[in-house]
Amino acid sequence: MGSNTTRLPSTSLSPKCALTPQEPLLPWISDNVLAIVLPTIVYVIAGAFFQVFDSYALFSKHRIHPSEEELKRNHVTRWECFKAVVRYHVMQISIGLLLNHGNGPALVGDEACKVHDTALAIHNLRNVVPMLLTTLGIDAKQLSLATQGTSTAFAQIIGGGSPNGSRNQIPTSVEIALAKFTINILTPAFQYTLALVVVDTWIYFTHRLCHVNRTLYRLVHAQHHRLYVSYAYGAVYAHWLETLFLDILSFVLAGEIAQLSARQSMIFGGFATIKTISDHCGYVFPWDPFRWINGNGAVFHDLHHQSWGLKYNFSTYTVFWDNLLGTTWADKEGAERRYQRVRDMTGKRGPLKEETVSVKGVEKAIAEGKKDE
């Protein structure tokens, strides 16, 4: 039986891997710049989408808080929030342009070249299999010959080359298919996963630090918690230091560590923006995908915005670190009881006192909450 060594086209068997600048997705803007401004574009569109819901009282039955709570409980006006959000995006775009100054388009090679090189690497890596079998006292060549009638691909793996155990530098059809899978699916999946791990880890621990350290909370993070009843376009309302070190830096690190391309950054940044908007939108829809993926949705984060939930639910994208370190709020009935009590207080009284935003106010609210458990 002949070996299954389907060749790449003759022109790409040993292709010259010349790199050329990648054409931009849009002719009037580079991919690098588009990757920087796209999160802001997504933010504006998604924020406006939910603003229509708020303005026309659409889907009111899906709101976490009654609309009147916003006026009575929040300690920042929508106009003040809007100005801080504009500052956030100006900082994000400015820093992005600065970091990308002088960077040209991505250099890409011919697809056949990438497939050939990856398939050849896989082919050479397979030589490790017969070496391992030999160390175990197994004759890899004989085993390969014995199994070639059953499975040619399995025989090739055992033999580290052709079914007859010979070595050559021609990738097989199996190796070519595996190379395409690695290039188009496996590698991007690993990059996105790594980027998510970096961002989620960075935000969890820096966010938690902002609550543990009284000075950081009082001077920096308390600004974000002036929004007890959050709304979509206020998702990134925060102190400029938090904008820089918690948000922007996390994505810079993720992009560098995961080596995301400009186009991958568009996808990652776009979905991350949608997730942030969803967390602060104030609505719980049955079709919300983030609720079903890992339970980290609008309710999860809204609980953190309440005075009695400030020490819980620090994560933004997953629940891994909260679950691992015991900071996930698990008492659903207790949460609903506290929500109802706040609604009753808000209906009977005017706006809540500003002290609930201070460190002492936070500790007092948490202590009172524990008494009710």
pLDDT digits (tens, 9 = 90+) for 292-322: 888 898 999 999 998 889 999 999 999 999 9
Query: According to the model, what pLDDT value does residue 118 have?
Result: 87
pLDDT of 239 higher than 70: yes
pLDDT band at 344 (very low <50, low <70, confident <90, very high): confident
16 pLDDT band, cuts 50/70/90, is low
Q: What is the DSSP letter of 308?
A: G
Per-residue pLDDT tens digits for 87-143: 999 999 999 999 999 899 998 888 888 888 888 888 777 777 777 777 777 776 777
Mean pLDDT of 201-221: 96
User: Which comes out higher in pLDDT, residue 286 or 44?
Assistant: 44
Highest mean pLDDT: which of 42-56, 115-129, 138-152?
A: 42-56
* Per-residue pLDDT, 190: 98
Q: State residue 15's pLDDT score.
A: 55
Please enumerate in sequence order all residues whose Cβ is within 8 A of that of 278, keeping only pairs 6 or more positions apart, or say none: 288, 290, 297, 298
CA–CA gap between residue 195 and residue 202 (Å, rounded): 11
pLDDT at 151: 64
Q: CA torsion, points 134, 139, 140, 143, in degrees to nearest 10?
A: -150
For the residues 359-363, what does the mean pLDDT come to? 40
Q: 96 vs 35, 39, 99, 126, CA distance in Å?
A: 9, 11, 5, 42
State the Cα–Cα distance between residues 201 and 128, nearest whole angstrom. 35
3-state SS, 337-370, equals HHHHHHHHHHHHCCCCCHHHHCHHHHHHHHHHHH
| Higher per-residue pLDDT: 61 or 207 | 207
Q: What is the pLDDT of residue 159?
A: 66
| Residue range 168-178: mean pLDDT, rounded | 78
Tokens of 135: 């160390």
Q: Which of 116, 122, 108 is nearest to 15 (CA)?
A: 116
Give yes or no for residue 287 having a pLDDT over 50.
yes
pLDDT exceeds 70 at position 38:
yes
On the question of pLDDT at 154 being above 60, the answer is: yes
- Is the model's pLDDT at 370 over the cut of 90? no
Whether the per-residue pLDDT at 237 is higher than 90: the answer is yes
Nearest Cα neighbor of 34 from 100, 102, 107, 109 is: 100
Predicted local distance difference test score (pLDDT) of residue 164? 46
Instruction: Read off the tokens for 365.
Output: 């609210």
Q: Tell which wins on pLDDT, 345 or 353.
A: 345
CA angle 237, 238, 243 (to 5 degrees): 110
User: What integer pLDDT is reported at residue 169 of this predicted model?
Assistant: 65
Residue 132: its pLDDT value, please? 76
